[in-house]
Structure 1
Amino acid sequence: MADISIRREGAVRIIEMAEPASGLTLDNLRTFTEALETAQQDDETAAVLLVGPADAFCSGCDLGDFLGCGDLDELAGTVRSFFRALALGSKPLVAAVDGPAVGLGMTMLLHFDAVFATPASSFAAPFADLGLVPEAAATLIAPLRFGYLRAFEMLCVGRPFSATEAHALGLVTEVTDPERASERALHVASRLARKPKAALQATRALLRADPIDIESRIDAEIAEFRARLEDAATVKRLGRLLRMADQARSAA
């Protein structure tokens, strides 16, 4: 389970993740959702900054926690609320990335307006290898932004992209030194927070995909994701991968 802390610096709401290798639990997603919703409702917050731990931005969801959830309706509702809060808010989102961004750790960045990554960062969406499907409306946004072939390579082939490749692709705004990534991200978030709110939010909304399409795709992906978790072969595959990961951690 990750530790998530929230604070405000000026008009920037800062969400910091201190994440173990196992990934984000459902409780983590609830905390994250609440932080995003609070930022939207708070008139003193004009931008949101997400900062991950050094060398390990986000390894995605804690699959053990997901598999252990006895109520798939609750699971689907929690995931849906998180992605809606992430995708449908009106305030700018900025991220500082250092290390691997995997699964949800990568797809959620599709909703950010500025992403600053270190050279050690990498981006991967191995959903097909796990027997799962992408989320966060990635199947809508990735082809629109990167083109079908690159989106297929990312979401179906599951090839990891380096920070330099992600920058060329348009997933990353800037590749910067590890010592400066968070500083650069905070600088840009603070700069955005000083701009006229209505004009910035209107321009941002016009630049982005139709929110109705995004919400509909989030729901469609979650329905398919849930169906995969109800598939016995998928559950068996995930269980085997989790056991292998546990053995690797024990041997380390």
Structure 2
Amino acid sequence: MSDIVLQRHDKVLQIGLNRPAKKNALSQQMYRELTAALAQAATDNSINVVLLQGSDNCFSAGNDLQDFLGAGELNAQHPTVQFLYQLAQFPKPIVAAVAGLAIGIGTTALLHCDLVYAADNSRFQLPFTKLGLCPEAGSSVLLPNLAGYQRAAQYLLLGEAFDAAQAEQMGLVNQVVGQHDVLSLALEKATALAALPADAVQSSKALLKPQQSMTLQTIANELVQFQRLLNGAECQQRIAAFFQR
């Protein structure tokens, strides 16, 4: 069974992360499947909205580090890199339903979503510096633009965790509900969005994101620094310590 589950709800494509044994940590195969699903949805006129969700207890614990480290250089062929660019350029609305842990890419991916609904048990964290790494997915520009520099520095430099109420306060999350209600709410909003004229919605999304070229350049800049840091001794030591916990 695939760790990525696709379901159709009329004009909504629901993409589910389904790797509970690993807390939905993203493997390279999952990145490939996510990229393929988004690429297909981008050109399929019968799909107006994508709904991204995890489980009731965990959205995603981030990268599967062991799998990620074995995938080679962060170049254009790397599955993670391909996913980042596909997500950043996706032309149709993405609605996210988040519950439980949203760590690393589990949080930065939300910065590219158009509507985010979170359960009250959600816990977000961007622990890049704790691993000797830097931000990714354009978060070094998207998070300051959303939350202000000082708040972004708190989460990207110190790597402090934050809860659903804090995420809603900063604008990362649209609404907080109970963990058993978050998926139904997100699907309700995605369905309402999908019922609107698709051209008007997609044109409006493009107008709402005039900084896309800056975001793409930021992703490229982050990848250069991420690769450099990943190759460094300090990062290697911290990752080794992570695996020994």
Structure-to-structure mapping, 1:117-156, within 5 angstroms: 117-156=118-157
After superposition, the Cα gap between the structure-2 partners of 1:137 and 1:237, relative to the gap in structure 1 and judged at 3 Å, is: same
After superposition, the Cα gap between the structure-2 partners of 1:108 and 1:22, relative to the gap in structure 1 and judged at 3 Å, is: closer
CA–CA distance in structure 1, aligned partners of residues 23 and 232 of structure 2: 25
Contact map agreement 1:154 1:160 (CA 8 A) in 2: yes
**How far is 1:74 from its partner?**
5.4
After superposition, the Cα gap between the structure-2 partners of 1:75 and 1:213, relative to the gap in structure 1 and judged at 3 Å, is: closer
Tell me the residue number matched to 2:18: 18
Whichever residue aligns with residue 223 of structure 1, its letter is V
Does residue 170 of structure 2 align to residue 169 of structure 1?
yes
Tell me the residue number matched to 1:247: none
Does residue 51 of structure 2 align to residue 56 of structure 1?
no
More displaced 10-residue stretch of structure 1: 93-102 or 76-85: 76-85
**How far is 1:78 from its partner?**
2.0
Tell me the residue number matched to 2:101: 100
Contact map agreement 2:122 2:164 (CA 8 A) in 1: yes
Structure 2 gaps of 5+ residues are none
Alignment size in residue pairs:
243
Tell me the residue number matched to 1:194: 195
Bigger helix fraction: 1
Contact map agreement 1:122 1:163 (CA 8 A) in 2: yes
SS at match of 1:115: strand
After superposition, the Cα gap between the structure-2 partners of 1:42 and 1:163, relative to the gap in structure 1 and judged at 3 Å, is: same
Tell me the residue number matched to 1:47: 49
**How far is 1:177 from its partner?**
1.5
After superposition, the Cα gap between the structure-2 partners of 1:225 and 1:190, relative to the gap in structure 1 and judged at 3 Å, is: same
Tell me the residue number matched to 2:3: 3
CA–CA distance in structure 2, aligned partners of residues 190 and 234 of structure 1: 43
Contact map agreement 1:76 1:222 (CA 8 A) in 2: no
**How far is 1:77 from its partner?**
2.9
CA–CA distance in structure 2, aligned partners of residues 160 and 45 of structure 1: 35
Contact map agreement 1:143 1:151 (CA 8 A) in 2: yes
- Segments of 4+ in structure 1 off by > 4 A? 73-76
Which of 21, 26, 29 is the matching residue for 1:27? 29
Contact map agreement 2:17 2:24 (CA 8 A) in 1: no
CA–CA distance in structure 2, aligned partners of residues 225 and 195 of structure 1: 40
1:113-139 CA-partner distances (Å, limit 9, x unpaired): 111111100111010001111111000
Whichever residue aligns with residue 51 of structure 2, its letter is L
1:31-69 CA-partner distances (Å, limit 9, x unpaired): 111111111011100000011012111000011112223
What is the percentage of aligned positions where both structures have the same residue?
Answer: 35
Contact map agreement 2:15 2:51 (CA 8 A) in 1: yes
Structure 1 gaps of 5+ residues are 245-252
More displaced 10-residue stretch of structure 1: 43-52 or 209-218: 209-218
SS at match of 1:72: coil
SS at match of 1:66: helix
1:170-212 CA-partner distances (Å, limit 9, x unpaired): 0001001222110010011111111111111111111124221
TM-score, normalised by the number of residues in structure 2: 0.95
CA–CA distance in structure 1, aligned partners of residues 78 and 18 of structure 2: 24
CA–CA distance in structure 1, aligned partners of residues 180 and 61 of structure 2: 21
Contact map agreement 1:2 1:24 (CA 8 A) in 2: no
SS at match of 1:108: helix
Whichever residue aligns with residue 62 of structure 2, its letter is G
Structure-to-structure mapping, 1:210-249, within 5 angstroms: 210-244=211-245
